[in-house]
Amino acid sequence: MKFDVLIVGGGVNGLTAAAYLARTGKRVGVLEQQKSLGGVCVTQEFHPGFRANVCVDDPGWMPAHVAQDLNLAAHGYTPAFAPVGAVFPGQSGEAVMLPSQPAQAVAALRTHAPADAARWEAFCGQVHRLSGMLQALYNERTPVIGRPAMADLMPLLALGRRLRGLGKRGMVDFLRAVPMPVADYLDEWFESPQLKGALAMWGVRDVQHGPMSGGTTLVYLNQHVGIPAGLMGGRRLVPGGVGQLPLALAAAAKAAGAEIRLNAEVIQIVTKNAAISGVVLVNGEQLEAPVVMCSADVRRTFGMLMEPGLFDPDFLGATHNVRMRSPVVRLHLALDGLPATSWSREALGGTISLAGDMGQIEQAYDAAKHGGIASRPCLQVTIPSLHDSGMAPAGKHVMTVHAQFAAYRQQGGWTTDQQRLAVEATLQQLNNWMPGLSDHVLQVASFTPADVEREFLVTEGSTIHGELALDQFLFMRPVPECARYATPIPGLWLCGSSVHPGAGTACASGWLAAREVMNTWKKK
């Protein structure tokens, strides 16, 4: 069968690319190995009547026009921001809430840490400005390639600075903050160990780094791209679960004429005369297309889907060196109810940070750094059923726990013992926070990095397709030779989270990649 474009992977980026390309009238096919769409942005039933956001709690920021262009609301994607951002236990276990209204957050902090309350608004302002700078960078393909020079980068930053109305000092703050350890960054603002611990979790989310690692402030800022000022640790709530996004994208793509195939695992991307000619499916079927866009992660793409002889070994080596190493274990609990707790429903509706202080997070990271599992993992807990009754049967609840740190590379691999260890340590932490919770658990579904790798075919379970770090950012993401979506093979494009901006954003890589492809058509 002949297509104009084949897209490997039906995650949000693949589907976004499909929708945009199909709108040009080309014949576009999407090939998804799973029986459902969405890749890691998926909501699944894990116990009769209980649905969970399997890998991610929030689809992430997307360029504003994508929702309009593809009419996503009409197709069922209607996100709203949670009214409460981070919530964490104070000195005596009480809930300290950080609602989006700064005045309320300040009031909440005043009893917990008066000095910090005074700095709260200024902090939120700076985070908003600096993450806004990132957002400006994320709306465009990455600068600087081919002629890589500081001289090119600086005007771009200057452009960003103008765009965001950052003053000279704001620019300094940005350049200074981005490489910093989030621990140092937060130390500059706050005193409360609990507050700093709770916030620091966003600086290490999905990466195998502790808060004392340089570059974690970048991760922190990245997490807050597109989040309203003041909503620290805030997330988007999606009625129906995060899996609504790929469904809406798929509907848009189909409406534009794209063909979508499920259970269609691509095992090889094939070339003829060193240019793309199509793909081979696991059942042996061959599909032809002069353009293949691959949304699989970079290591999978070049390490498993392509004939290595086509590439310069240095290039292959570089793609192989991209750090993936997800340190996350996710648990989904089906609960027959919530135990009695002093925490309000409003507090439970936030993103609950059970991390202790930054030292404890660092210690949990140490375990993974040395190839093990944290005995006291740091948790971020959400209860989606509080916002969306469709997630669980009436009166019952779903609790999702995002736990760090557990090394992907366990000495001896991820065995069932290892998995049990990780799950028990996590449940223990949960129970410490909410005694009696275990009595309400009907079912636990757990996903280790190895599970995510196996099920979603992402290397080392990295839902962000490559650690977010300064050396895997912008024109370095995933490797300089494909940072602008094109690859050394004519006709092969990357369009997944491995490429700028990727890493926790939605649709942006897919859209920017599609735009590059469309530009080549225009030129012809």
**Shortest Cβ distance from residue 214 to other proteins (Å)?**
4
Closer to other proteins by Cβ: residue 47 or 500: 500
**Shortest Cβ distance from residue 215 to other proteins (Å)?**
5
Closer to other proteins by Cβ: residue 114 or 308: 308
**Shortest Cβ distance from residue 278 to other proteins (Å)?**
17
H helices within 290-394, ranges in order? 298-304, 313-320, 345-348, 358-369
The upper half-sphere exposure of residue 494, i.e. CA atoms within 13 Å in the direction of its Cβ, equals: 31
**Shortest Cβ distance from residue 283 to other proteins (Å)?**
22
How many C-beta atoms surround the C-beta of residue 362 within 10 A?
A: 22
d(CA 289, CA 278): 5
Closer to other proteins by Cβ: residue 331 or 489: 489
Closer to other proteins by Cβ: residue 308 or 337: 308
How many C-beta atoms surround the C-beta of residue 490 within 10 A?
A: 14
**Shortest Cβ distance from residue 167 to other proteins (Å)?**
9
Closer to other proteins by Cβ: residue 10 or 327: 327
- Length reported for the chain: 524
Task: List contacts with other proteins (CB under 8 A).
Answer: 146-152, 154, 157, 161, 168-169, 171-172, 175-177, 179-180, 184, 188, 209, 212-215, 273-274, 303, 307-317, 320-321, 323, 359, 362-363, 366, 369-370, 469-471, 476, 480
d(CA 47, CA 400): 13
Q: Residues 250, 72: contact at Cβ < 8 Å?
A: no
Closer to other proteins by Cβ: residue 93 or 317: 317
d(CA 504, CA 375): 27
Of 210, 243, 215, give the one whose Cα is nearest residue 374.
210
User: What secondary structure does DSSP assign to 134-161, as a single string?
Assistant: HHHHHTS--S--SS--HHHHHHHHHHHH
Residue 140's alpha-carbon distances to 62, 272, 474, 484, in angstroms, are 12, 32, 10, 10
Closer to other proteins by Cβ: residue 37 or 177: 177
**Shortest Cβ distance from residue 321 to other proteins (Å)?**
5
**Shortest Cβ distance from residue 294 to other proteins (Å)?**
17
Closer to other proteins by Cβ: residue 170 or 257: 170
**Shortest Cβ distance from residue 174 to other proteins (Å)?**
9
> Residue 213 corresponds to which tokens in the numbers above?
């690692």
**CA Rg value for the chain:** 22
